[in-house]
Structure 1
Amino acid sequence: MIKVSIIVPCYNQAQYLSEALLSVLVQTYTDWECIIVNDGSPDQTEEVAKQWVEKDSRFVYLKKENGGLCSARNYGIKKAVGELILPLDADDKIADNYVGLAVQSFEEDSSLKVVYCKAEKFGSASGIWQLEPFSLLNLCSNNMIFCSAMFKKRDWELDGGYDEKMKYGWEDWEFWISILKNGGQVKCLDEVGFYYRVKTNSMIKSMDEEKKRHLLEYMSIKHVDFFVRQLGSFKQLDDTLENTKLEYSNSLKSEKFVIDLFCSTFFRFSIFGLYKMKKH
């Protein structure tokens, strides 16, 4: 069997940690280790983690000075003995068959670099997490692979790990670009295997526009080869924009186009108005 190392960083998430670890304990696939990384957390993370270490020897507890999510994940993966890695945030959960199905996929297809699954939200929101299908082109504009996707430790090593300069967030997005931009296949399992906790406050929700701009500029420079290969050069993008403006400008000169546009817009707003009246 292939050994899987599940990496669970924890910082101020002690109240959720046991729920995450229970979802690991009940996996139908049994050849795993679960490394809990206390990232200098001031809460009861150590107390909770040690209870699980005593419960099952496959749980491993590590403690380090606070360095952020990327630092904690990298620290845990360095210590991991598994050939395959599965990150799991301390406030999320996985389905009991997720590890087994992901391992099976890697066994059946050596070209795979990443295996993930469908996801469901829980907490302050619920329902299926609707994500764009994976493609390198889609990956240019959005991340559709959440953190709890399985990959090979060898690829993590070759890439240099999670980039610890991504301290405000989007570290998963940057990591997937890094390991996938030069080749390798991705598979999404056709069933829900990951449960994402939605909270009223989170690192992503607190990211302001300045932080977003900083991260996007950093990623654009670091992975300029990827973005140019998928989207074209700045000149091509500029030409496309100008052509779109020209086509739209020419269309506006067409009386039929303007009438059709007005009618369709009026119809949409009329229907929306009737819908609102019915609701009230």
Structure 2
Amino acid sequence: MQEQPLVSIIIPTFNRAHLIGGTLDSVLAQTYTNWECIVVDDGSTDGTEALLEAYIANDNRFQFHKRPDTHLHGGNGARNYGFEVSKGEFIQWFDSDDLMVPEKIEIKVKTILDYNVDFVISQTQYFNREKGGEYTYNFKAEEVSFISYVTTYISWFTPDLFIKKSFAEKVSFNEVLKAGQEYNFSCKLLLKTTSLKKIDKVLTLRRYHDSSIGYKRRENNFSYFKSRLEMYWINYKEIIKLTHNKQFEKYTLLVCLSSYFQGNKKVKMPKGFEIAMVKAFGVKSIYFFGALSTYYLYGKYHFFYLKLK
């Protein structure tokens, strides 16, 4: 390419000094050279800052920022701040423990320009897992819509998304969420545009962690269903202000309700949930209250719950 548009690679990090060097080396190895790599630290107490200073001394395309108090603690706040200081025409969010294949940015820039789309999605796979290393996205670009994303198998990880800054400006990461940031961000993105191209090549090498937050949540049923309900409920409250799509509304509330029931009376129902159910299901909400009654009395709910579906 004779003229290379600037790409902003935004990486949130927290206590990853032992891993982020590999990530930054994979950025340095990119065949596409017009990039800025913005690392936003979320309060690390290890040697992250010293490590970044060494990279910046050798290559001024790297930047190191500390998340300011104007953004909430967590990866989402760091991502949003990184976007605020970015200058690129295109945005590539990435994680501080994953790796880029050398052609990742080059292929994505060429694709988004050649097809004149608003964002592209590429494939990913785990590089440190003997079994189940591949994570293939089997959907087609033309299948992607807001509703298909919400209700079917269509999904992607944040590092696989590459987007025009002009569209990223219309969507931000929800800083209250502790999980499900990809889902929330993509819901909002797909309400703005479905102009995309899917690249059927693995361009991200994802690190698998047995000790990851998500893994620990899934190992603990109570924690998993509590987190699942919170994520879908927070997402619901934000998205319902942007669209009153009934299919989204009912599907999301049923996921929340299912998580509540599967929490075995340890998960609390969020404030305002009953009102939301009545608004969404109308007369059929009688089945909701029937399910609650049999759940409290007998620990059963399936008969009335299925009537809502």
- Partner-residue secondary structure (3-state), 1:27: coil
Range 143-152 or range 188-197, more displaced: 143-152
1:19 match? 22
1:147 to 133, 142, 158: 158
1:28 aligns with 2:26: no
Contact 1:143 1:173 (C-alpha < 8 Å) held by counterparts? no
Following the alignment from structure 1 to structure 2, what is the Cα–Cα distance between the partners of residues 210 and 56?
Answer: 44
Cα deviation for residue 135 of structure 1 reads: 2.1
1:67 match? 73
Distance 1:230 1:152, change over 3 A: farther
1:165 to 176, 184, 189: 176
Name the structure with the higher strand share.
1
1:92 aligns with 2:92: no
1:122 to 117, 124, 127: 127
Distance 1:93 1:211, change over 3 A: same
Distance 1:158 1:71, change over 3 A: same
Q: What are the superposed Cα offsets for residues 215-260 of structure 1, whole Å, 9 maximum, x if unpaired?
A: 1112123223658365586559x79x9xxx9xxxxxxxxxxxxxxx
Range 227-236 or range 125-134, more displaced: 227-236
Following the alignment from structure 2 to structure 1, what is the Cα–Cα distance between the partners of residues 180 and 119?
Answer: 17
Range 193-202 or range 214-223, more displaced: 214-223
Give the 5 Å matches for 1:31-110. Answer: 31-64=34-67, 67-110=73-116
Cα deviation for residue 203 of structure 1 reads: 2.3
Cα deviation for residue 26 of structure 1 reads: 0.8
2:12 to 2, 9, 17: 9
1:135 aligns with 2:144: yes
Q: What are the superposed Cα offsets for residues 152-202 of structure 1, whole Å, 9 maximum, x if unpaired?
A: 22222222x211111x11111111111112333222212110111001111
In the alignment, structure 2 segments of 5+ residues that lack a partner are: 218-222, 251-279, 288-302, 304-309
TM-score (norm 2): 0.70
Following the alignment from structure 2 to structure 1, what is the Cα–Cα distance between the partners of residues 248 and 49?
Answer: 46
Distance 1:107 1:210, change over 3 A: same
Percent identity reads 25
- Partner-residue secondary structure (3-state), 1:78: helix
Distance 1:27 1:157, change over 3 A: same
1:188 match? 198
In the alignment, structure 1 segments of 5+ residues that lack a partner are: 246-280
Following the alignment from structure 2 to structure 1, what is the Cα–Cα distance between the partners of residues 154 and 226?
Answer: 19
Whichever residue aligns with residue 228 of structure 1, its letter is: N
Following the alignment from structure 2 to structure 1, what is the Cα–Cα distance between the partners of residues 66 and 54?
Answer: 15
Contact 1:35 1:60 (C-alpha < 8 Å) held by counterparts? yes
Contact 2:26 2:102 (C-alpha < 8 Å) held by counterparts? yes
Contact 1:115 1:189 (C-alpha < 8 Å) held by counterparts? yes
Give runs of ≥4 in structure 1 deviating > 4 Å.
229-236
1:213 aligns with 2:222: no
Following the alignment from structure 2 to structure 1, what is the Cα–Cα distance between the partners of residues 204 and 150?
Answer: 23
TM-score (norm 1): 0.77
1:274 match? none
Contact 2:209 2:215 (C-alpha < 8 Å) held by counterparts? no
Whichever residue aligns with residue 184 of structure 1, its letter is: T
Cα deviation for residue 43 of structure 1 reads: 1.0
Following the alignment from structure 1 to structure 2, what is the Cα–Cα distance between the partners of residues 162 and 35?
Answer: 16
How many aligned positions are there? 238
Give the 5 Å matches for 1:257-276. Answer: none
In our comparison, the structure showing a higher alpha carbon Rg is 1
- Partner-residue secondary structure (3-state), 2:214: coil
Contact 1:140 1:230 (C-alpha < 8 Å) held by counterparts? no
